[in-house]
Chain A
Amino acid sequence: MGGTAQQLFDLLSIMISVVAVLVSLGLGLSSRRTARRALRISERAEARLMPHFDLYLQDAAVWTSPRDATREYGVHLRITNPTDLPTAVVVAELHISYSRADHTAAVKVPTANAPQFVGDIDTIELPRSLQANDATSGWMIFHVPEELLSKTDVQRYDLEVRDVHDVIRSVQILMFPEKPHAK
């Protein structure tokens, strides 16, 4: 009788231990999932405090002067600031890579202050402020004198935009459809 009671007691102890281990394991796994979720939330919050902006190319076009072959390249952009930090777009350049005679070259064309023959369009004037979680859109125009690209083969166009935190974003532009110049 005593032996049977002892065996029962031992069995009960083992069962309680197993249950305790299972409960601990379960609690541990749950805590780990909770901790990982908390970490992801914290990382997303942290990312919103890091300077960042996004570029989206909506349209591109080129206008040719009625007087000579000077061209104005236009890029219609949407610029978004998905962070909790304000920023400002300060520089935008059109990088044109081309080959000429015996060599290849590249030139950085700054934005034009005042388009000359594009007509009435909404332009983004720099510097352009963007508040936290803000966006803007509009055209950026780049004036390229005729002589610069004459007798050259253009290889590539890239737009590079820089903000006040020195974050740089770039986008390749595959083609600039011709549009009629403003009369």
Chain B
Amino acid sequence: MIREQGEVADRGGLVRVLSDGALAGPVADGRLIPVLVIDTAGRPDIRELVRQHKHFSPGDAKHRWATSPEDEDLVVLMLTFDRPSEVDVVLAFSIEDEGILVDAIVRCGMVYLQPGTERSRVSTTVGDPKVLVELPDTGFGPYWDSLFEKRMANVIAAQMKVSSGHAKSRAKEIIAEMRQVTSLRIGV
């Protein structure tokens, strides 16, 4: 079960993220927008949504972030597309392994979804169809900041065998350094 900041939701129909990257361009004033290559082998509806988007843009989509009381490393992004067709996409992320990716998505407020295969890489499939999803702030930002920091501190404390105070300050440093990269603007 997933808790969404006080609510509980089912985790079903997860779509795997195969690889990720970032694109910059005039869309967001040169900001790097995260790109998620997702496994749509069993989801022809997602592939069809991306195909439809080529002709009917912008569409309508809602999103919600969720965490799990049973797994402190898990954060979930639930997307509900309404137009041009009705499709649900649920993406799960490991904070330890993909925290910086989630951080980039939360801070940028946008993400590209690109149907792909195991071999797809963003750098080699730049021209492939993808859909840009806007994720307006829902108040998850501050909650995410503290969650990210806490999880990274726990990981550092466990791996480096240091005190929690030291791990916490080290986690803040690491996160700040990573954010310097993800907040780059190109061509502006």
B145 at the interface (CB under 8 A from A): no
Residues of B within 8 A of A107 (CB): 52, 56, 84-85
Contacts of B84 in A (CB 8 A): 107-109
B72 within 8 A of A: no
Count, chain B residues at interface, CB 8 A: 12
Nearest-CB residue, chain A, relative to B47: A103
Set B44, B56, B86: member contacting A106, Cβ < 8 A: B86
| Chain A, interface residues (CB within 8 Å), range | 10 to 19
Q: Is B137 an interface residue (CB 8 A)?
A: no
The residue that A147 contacts in the complex, of B48, B55, B83, B85, with Cβ under 8 A, is: B55
A145 with B55: CB separation less than 8 A? yes
- Measured CA separation A109–B57 after assembly (Å): 10
Interface contact A108-B85, CB-CB below 8 Å: yes
The closest CB in chain B to the CB of A105 belongs to B48
> Interface code B47-68, partner A: CB below 8 Å = 1, 0 otherwise?
0100110111000000000000
B85–A106 touching, CB < 8 Å: yes
Which residues of B (6-53) have their CB < 8 Å from a CB of A?
Answer: 44-45, 48, 51-52
Listed by A's residue number, 28 A-B pairs whose Cβ atoms lie within 8 Å are A93-B83, A100-B48, A101-B44, A102-B44, A103-B44, A103-B45, A103-B48, A105-B44, A105-B45, A105-B48, A105-B52, A105-B85, A106-B85, A106-B86, A107-B52, A107-B56, A107-B84, A108-B56, A108-B83, A108-B84, A108-B85, A109-B84, A110-B56, A110-B83, A145-B55, A147-B54, A147-B55, A148-B51
Q: Given contacts A100-B48, A105-B44, A107-B85, could you give 19 more A-B pairs where the C-beta distance is less than 8 Å? A: A101-B44, A103-B45, A103-B48, A105-B45, A105-B48, A105-B85, A106-B85, A106-B86, A107-B52, A107-B84, A108-B56, A108-B83, A108-B84, A108-B85, A109-B84, A110-B56, A110-B83, A148-B51, A148-B55
